[in-house]
Chain A
Amino acid sequence: AQSVTQLGSHVSVSEGALVLLRCNYSSSVPPYLFWYVQYPNQGLQLLLKYTSAATLVKGINGFEAEFKKSETSFHLTKPSAHMSDAAEYFCAVSLNNAGNMLTFGGGTRLMVKP
């Protein structure tokens, strides 16, 4: 069975500071991994996805994530936080290369202080 654990349900950073949101996965086979962002009262927007190509994945809005098989991690980073980055972030895993039927983590709420 596959699962995703996001460490830290709430993360607070100052504007301009590094953003680091942690995600660890459990999967018996090479997974496909995703990061989504959810703004209040909205659906989920794909930030980036890992599908067994380059281990460092660049996404939208300056975010990137690195797949580390030895650590079973797929942490999301952004060098400099903006106020507009405040939202809920979800890590997800899919066992099929279709990238659907996703298993999501519990989410991390990112707060950005001025």
Chain B
Amino acid sequence: ETGVTQSPTHLIKTRGQQVTLRCSSQSGHNTVSWYQQALGQGPQFIFQYYREEENGRGNFPPRFSGLQFPNYSSELNVNALELDDSALYLCASSSTLSGGQVYGYTFGSGTRLTVV
């Protein structure tokens, strides 16, 4: 059973650019969540996808967007990068059952984004 994998592990972008981060869910998981963790702080919830639809969003502007694919992998896209977007981006996959119960909430190791 593979875990949650994120790519790339590190990248550097220039202010104003766009970036795409990727997450491969753990086998059997149908839900993916994304978090932003600034240096020295706790993670902040960005949004969650279930069956290719966004079903929850935190306090992040629309330039943060996402996709979930039929194989349950996911992308996080950030447009018009700002210096404050520099952070560790974590994704977590889980299995949501028809009754809403969630199992196996598992985090990846993250992508470290630096905006210069």
Binding site for B on A (CB under 8 A): 4, 36, 41-46, 90, 92, 96-107
Interface on B for A, CB 8 Å cutoff? 4, 31, 33, 35, 40-45, 48, 56, 58, 90, 92, 94, 96, 100-102, 105, 107-110
Q: Can you give 9 contacting A-B residue pairs, CB < 8 Å? A: A43-B4, A44-B90, A44-B92, A44-B107, A46-B105, A100-B31, A100-B105, A102-B45, A106-B42
A15 vs chain B, min Cβ distance (A)? 25
CA distance A98 to B31 in the complex (A): 11
| Contact (A43, B45) CB under 8 Å given A97-B100, A98-B96 | no
Query: How far is it, in angstroms, between the C-alpha of A101 and the C-alpha of B50 when the chains are bound?
Result: 12
Could you tell me the distance between the alpha carbons of A41 and B90 in the complex, rounded to whole angstroms?
Answer: 11
Beyond A45-B107, A92-B42, A99-B105, 18 additional contacts (C-beta under 8 Å) are A36-B107, A41-B109, A43-B108, A44-B92, A90-B42, A90-B43, A96-B100, A98-B96, A98-B102, A100-B33, A100-B48, A100-B105, A101-B33, A101-B58, A102-B35, A104-B35, A107-B41, A107-B42
**What separation, in Å, do the CA atoms of A44 and B35 have in the docked complex?**
11
CA distance A105 to B44 in the complex (A): 9
Instruction: Report A114 CB to chain B, min CB distance, Å.
Output: 25
Q: Are A105 and B42 in contact (CB-based, < 8 A)?
A: yes
Residue of B nearest to A98 (CB): B102
Residues of chain A lying within 8 A (CB to CB) of residue B105: 46, 99-100
B48 to chain A, nearest CB (A): 6
Complex Cα distance, B96 from A76, in Å, reads 28
Q: Which residues of A contact B4 (CB under 8 A)?
A: 43
Q: Closest A-chain residue to B3, C-beta based?
A: A43
A104 to B42, CA, bound (A): 6
Give the complex CA separation of A107 and B107 in angstroms: 17
Name which residue of chain A comes closest to B96, CB basis.
A98
Q: Find B43's partner among A44, A46, A97 (CB 8 Å cutoff).
A: A44
Contact check, B41 vs A106: say whether CB atoms are below 8 A apart.
yes
The residues of B that contact A36 with a CB separation of less than 8 Å are 107
